[in-house]
Amino acid sequence: MPAAPRSSGKAMAAAAVVVTMLLSTAAVAAAQHDYGDALHKCILFFEGQRSGRLPPDQRVRWRRDSGLHDGAAAGVDLTGGYYDAGDNVKFGFPMAFTATLMSWGLIDFGRSFGPHKEEARKAVRWATDYLMKATARPNTVYVQVGDAFRDHSCWERPEDMDTPRTVYRVDPSHPGSDVAAETAAALAAASIVFRDSDPAYSKRLLDRAVAVFEFADKHRGPYSSSLHAAVCPCYCDYSGYQDELLWGAAWLHKASRRREYREYIKRNEVVLGASEAINEFGWDNKHAGINVLISKEVLMGKDEYFQSFRVNADNFICTLLPGISNHPQIQYSPGGLLFKVGSSNMQHVTQLSFLLLAYSNYLSHAGGRVSCGSSSASPAQLRRVAKRQVDYILGDNPLRMSYMVGYGARFPRRIHHRASSIPSVAAHPARIGCKAGAAYYASPAPNPNLLVGAVVGGPTDASDAFPDARAVFQQSEPTTYINAPLMGLLAYFSAHPNPADSGGD
């Protein structure tokens, strides 16, 4: 599990070659990828991350049932859900964010998923079924299963894990507005995904989202304080819980159309800092996502009430466009990769690219452009920058390698992932203990099990370098929240491979 994505303020001017590469149609059109195949694999990755009893249609066959007694010691059923990355802990905060982003992709680009739409919905439901269990008790959200420190001292398959499956929760005495509001956002967003295909499930999701958000708002406080020893430094909330409250309200407004959430957003816009840190978007900081999401209301002519969010969204988008803004926290490598100082860089690449695409979609429908001071950018320009990042991931980079396992001729073979790096139960039925797995961790050999579709952390600086080494987890570990926004991006480009010609989905 990667360390928290902290970005420094050190500026690095983007080279002119990068500007040309990112904004010219010719450079983007240089290669064509099978985005549909990449989408299929991107979704398949989530099956490799499943915890619990695996269903009969499980396609990642080298995985087996795991965590079948999760929650039992606390008298609650917490089986299922996803392992967030290469370890065996279930972290509720990034899992909920993952579900929210997967749902957003389906909501905005559902028609582009084509034959992959149902498997994408199944990926969302594996998360939301778990989140429904985690919120079944009123005024309580179970936010983690597993002792991260004990788990990280072992290298073992999830099928063999014998480290404590300690259960952690937030409640009125131990508030966690951030994780609870993110969970509410996930449930609300998913309720839209299932509105037509399963109306009864959709209603249950929305009803629960309403209750969980009410708890998050009424009992305010960061879960990093209530559960500091358990969740820090892995998934500490560095940005505070205020952004999640706005984020949760925004998704509840979108899902329910209830006036109370509209009023909540406007009433708390300044108090909860809607305009703060808008250059960030990820499991920790939702500010940029809030502004892009709410801006759709303005761009579609539905709510001028939220005009300030549109201004914030424009300001954010401008920071991502090379040649228009040299924002100190947004940089590009010579090969064209967006990067922010820190680890697991591909989370920034996919999450920020998704916001570029979503905003371009809203602008296209409204016939609008992004205002960047004395200049402006068209929706097509935004799509080109997003597509350039997707193409970099799929192999258009100086190393000519795909950062998605199983896609292309060359891809990472030694990813930082326990289940992938240790022989499967089918190949090695005998248990492999906590310390016995260390030999596989240290081995220079490729992983025996392909975690198809996994996108690793990738290059973390301006060098475009990648060591393909298990020990360098900052670069070689995949996470669910790298893949989650990539689903929507790949779906869109599979249906609209030429961003200059395509409009909204």
What does the pLDDT read at residue 34?
Answer: 97
Position 15 confidence tier, pLDDT thresholds 50, 70, 90: very low
Query: Is residue 242's pLDDT more than 80?
Result: yes
Active site annotation includes 416: yes
Instruction: Give the residue among 148, 131, 212, 145 at the shortest CA–CA distance from 175.
Output: 212
SS3 467: coil
**How far apart are the C-alpha atoms of 311 and 219, rounded to whole Å?**
31
Which position has the higher pLDDT, 112 or 328? Answer: 112
DSSP 329: T
SS3 371: strand
Q: What is the per-residue pLDDT across 34-85, written as a single tens digit (0 to 9) for each?
A: 999 999 999 999 999 999 999 999 999 999 999 999 999 899 999 999 999 9
Query: Is residue 278's pLDDT more than 90?
Result: no
**For the CA atoms of 63, 69, 70, 71, what is the dihedral angle to 10 degrees?**
170
Q: Is 239 exposed, middle or buried (0-12, 13-18, 19+ CB in 10 A)?
A: buried
Q: Sign of the C-alpha dihedral, residues 485, 477, 159, 224?
A: negative
Position 502 confidence tier, pLDDT thresholds 50, 70, 90: low
Q: Is 503 exposed, middle or buried (0-12, 13-18, 19+ CB in 10 A)?
A: middle
What does the pLDDT read at residue 224?
Answer: 93
Query: Is residue 325's pLDDT more than 80?
Result: no
Read off the pLDDT of each residue in 152-179 and give the average, rounded to a whole number: 96
What does the pLDDT read at residue 328?
Answer: 63
Active site residue: 416, 417, 496, 505, which one? 416
Query: Is residue 317's pLDDT more than 90?
Result: yes
Read off the pLDDT of each residue in 299-307 and give the average, rounded to a whole number: 81
Q: What is the per-residue pLDDT across 224-238, written as a single tens digit (0 to 9) for each?
A: 999 999 999 899 888
Query: Is residue 20's pLDDT more than 90?
Result: no
Backbone dihedral angles phi then psi of residue 71, each to the nearest 5 degrees: 90, -15
DSSP 305: G
Query: Is residue 127's pLDDT more than 80?
Result: yes
**How far apart are the C-alpha atoms of 339 and 332, rounded to whole Å?**
6
Active site annotation includes 228: no
Position 460 confidence tier, pLDDT thresholds 50, 70, 90: confident
Contact 95, 65 (CB under 8 A): no
Write down the pTM of the prediction: 0.93
Instruction: Give the residue among 6, 140, 152, 133 at the shortest CA–CA distance from 77.
Output: 133
Contacts of 214 (CB under 8 A, 6+ apart): none
Lowest mean pLDDT among 174-188, 270-284, 431-445: 270-284
Q: At what angle do helices 92-109 and 177-193 cross, to 10 degrees?
A: 30
What does the pLDDT read at residue 461?
Answer: 81
Query: Is residue 30's pLDDT more than 70?
Result: no
Active site annotation includes 477: yes
What does the pLDDT read at residue 464?
Answer: 94
Read off the pLDDT of each residue in 136-159 and give the average, rounded to a whole number: 96
Active site residue: 237, 284, 303, 477, which one? 477
Cis peptide before 233 (omega within 30 of 0): yes
Contacts of 252 (CB under 8 A, 6+ apart): 184, 185, 188, 209, 210, 213, 258, 261
Average pLDDT value for the chain:
90
What does the pLDDT read at residue 239?
Answer: 86
**How far apart are the C-alpha atoms of 247 and 296, rounded to whole Å?**
14
Contacts of 351 (CB under 8 A, 6+ apart): 101, 281, 282, 481, 485
Contact 378, 17 (CB under 8 A): no
Position 129 confidence tier, pLDDT thresholds 50, 70, 90: very high
Lowest mean pLDDT among 161-175, 208-222, 245-259, 301-315: 301-315
What does the pLDDT read at residue 241?
Answer: 95
Read off the pLDDT of each residue in 377-404 and give the average, rounded to a whole number: 96
Which position has the higher pLDDT, 28 or 378? Answer: 378
Instruction: Give the residue among 341, 403, 466 at the shortest CA–CA distance from 4.
Output: 341
| Residue 37 token pair | 């195949």
